[in-house]
Amino acid sequence: MIQIPPTLVTRKVKGADAASYLEEVVNAEAQGGWEFWRVDSIGVQVEPGCLGALGGARASHTIHYVITFRRPLPEGGA
pLDDT in tens, 11-35: 776 777 888 888 999 999 999 999 9
In whole angstroms, give the CA distance from residue 22 to residue 3.
12
In the chain, where the domains are located:
18-70
Give the number of residues written for the chain: 78
pTM: 0.64
Helix, strand, or coil here: 41?
strand
User: pLDDT at residue 7 above 80?
Assistant: no
Contacts of 2 (CB under 8 A, 6+ apart): 25, 29, 66, 67, 69
Cite the beta strand spans of 18-58 per DSSP E.
Answer: 35-46
Inform me whether the pLDDT recorded for 46 exceeds 80.
yes
